[in-house]
């Protein structure tokens, strides 16, 4: 079986490509000419040089494919202009779906995010049916991923057999670009004294990759599936990471009332620092919320595995140490 992975030079995409090779699939990857290829080193894959914003290159890439995994997106949104985030995540997805429809690709798996689902009401877990909220609508990454899903639904209405997966915050070995694993690298280098008041749904990349494979095989067309893990407060996350990397756990939590001024200060610093930001003010503002998600639909319908965050953090830390990220 021939499969295409867009975004294969990224974290999830490269791990997915490796898993597909291990399963004996013929794997083609769509990548830009200047893409960093660390995550694909040594993998026997076919390279289709192109771009999801270039329809002609997409048509060549999807030709003859039995499954297309559309993973490509701007994930490090805090490092890019909002206009580019929308262009790549929404227009790029529209182009991929159009190419798959034109080529009559039998199956498409679109990688979205829990951010496209939105913030749950206090004390609850978001599900695939949770309405997108007004706060998330002001967050370009979340809004762009929601709009990208709408492009998938339009393609489904035109006959494409596509399924959507919504990973949580993905942690594990192989995150070359420090998308989610930056907390591990930062805490390994120096103690972090404070944490914000909210929390997040932390997913092991190995589970997320398996979720993609399961969705391709058994996901219902037009459905979305949350690929999460443990729902943890930021203090719980920091305590686990501190134990893994051998640092002291944070002693204080940032009061909710300080997040507004702190987010403004972060944005000002990023404008004058002259280097790519580690995070932005929007992330600070969102950190007041418990971004907790229910993966039971994926568990029930796909057989998705829920893996512990501590083990994912340990694998990530070991990988970062072995690859020189902690020097």
In a domain, 60, yes or no: yes
CA 233 vs CA 21, 108, 248, 261: distances in Å: 36, 34, 17, 22
pTM across the whole model: 0.94
Contact criterion met (CB below 8 Å) for 231 and 293: yes
d(CA 290, CA 198): 5
In a domain, 127, yes or no: yes
**Residue 95: predicted pLDDT:** 98
Contact criterion met (CB below 8 Å) for 166 and 212: no
Of 115, 128, 120, 125, residue with least CA distance to 293: 125
In a domain, 260, yes or no: no
Contact criterion met (CB below 8 Å) for 249 and 239: yes
| DSSP category for residue 293 | B
**Residue 263: predicted pLDDT:** 66
**Residue 180: predicted pLDDT:** 86
In a domain, 126, yes or no: yes
* Averaged pLDDT, groups of 10, the chain, 327 residues long: 95 97 97 87 94 97 98 81 93 98 98 95 95 92 96 98 98 89 89 88 98 98 98 96 93 75 63 64 77 98 98 97 89
Q: Which domain holds residue 144?
A: 2-178+202-234+292-310
Output the CA torsion sign for 52, 55, 61, 67: positive
In a domain, 278, yes or no: no
User: What's the Rg (C-alpha) of the chain?
Assistant: 19
d(CA 194, CA 254): 6
In a domain, 304, yes or no: yes
CATH of the domain at 158: 3.40.50.720
CA 206 vs CA 137, 172, 211: distances in Å: 30, 7, 9
Of 210, 206, 207, residue with least CA distance to 219: 210
How many CA within 13 A on the CB side of residue 106? Answer: 9
Q: How far is CA 283 from the centre of its chain?
A: 15
In a domain, 117, yes or no: yes
d(CA 144, CA 116): 8
**Residue 327: predicted pLDDT:** 76
In a domain, 286, yes or no: no
Listing DSSP states for 148-186 in one string gives HHHHHHHHHHTT--EEEEEE-EEESTT-TT-SSTHHHHH
Q: Domains in the chain: how many in total?
A: 1
């Amino acid at each position: 079986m021939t499969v295409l992975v867009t975004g294969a030079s990224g974290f999830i995409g490269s791990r997915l490509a490796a898993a597909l090779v291990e399963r004996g699939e013929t794997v083609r990857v769509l990548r830009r000419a200047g893409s960093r290829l660390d995550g694909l080193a040594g993998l026997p894959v076919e390279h289709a040089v192109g771009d999801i914003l270039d329809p002609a290159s997409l048509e060549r890439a999807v030709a003859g494919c039995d499954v297309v995994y559309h993973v490509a997106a701007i994930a490090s949104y805090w490092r890019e202009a909002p206009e580019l985030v929308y262009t790549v995540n929404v227009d790029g997805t529209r182009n991929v779906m159009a190419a798959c429809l034109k080529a009559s690709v039998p199956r498409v798996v679109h990688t979205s995010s829990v951010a496209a689902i939105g913030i749950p009401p206090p004390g609850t877990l978001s599900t695939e049916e949770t309405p997108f909220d007004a706060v998330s609508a002001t967050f370009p990454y979340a809004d762009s991923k929601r709009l990208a899903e709408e492009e998938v639904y339009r393609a489904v209405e035109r006959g494409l057999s596509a399924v959507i997966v919504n990973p949580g915050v993905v942690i594990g070995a192989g995150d070359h670009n420090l998308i989610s694993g930056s907390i591990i690298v930062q805490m390994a280098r120096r103690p972090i004294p404070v944490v914000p008041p909210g929390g997040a749904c932390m997913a092991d990349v190995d589970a997320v990759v398996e979720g993609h494979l399961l969705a391709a095989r058994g996901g219902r067309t037009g459905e979305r599936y949350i690929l999460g893990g443990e729902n943890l407060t930021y203090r719980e996350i920091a305590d686990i990471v501190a134990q893994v990397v051998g640092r002291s756990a944070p002693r204080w939590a940032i009061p909710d009332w300080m997040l507004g001024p702190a987010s403004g200060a972060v944005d000002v610093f990023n404008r004058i620092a002259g280097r790519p930001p580690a995070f932005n003010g929007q992330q600070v503002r969102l950190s007041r919320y418990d971004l907790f998600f229910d993966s039971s639909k994926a568990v029930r319908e796909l057989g998705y595995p829920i893996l512990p965050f501590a083990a994912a953090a340990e694998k990530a830390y070991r990988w970062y140490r072995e690859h020189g990220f902690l020097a």
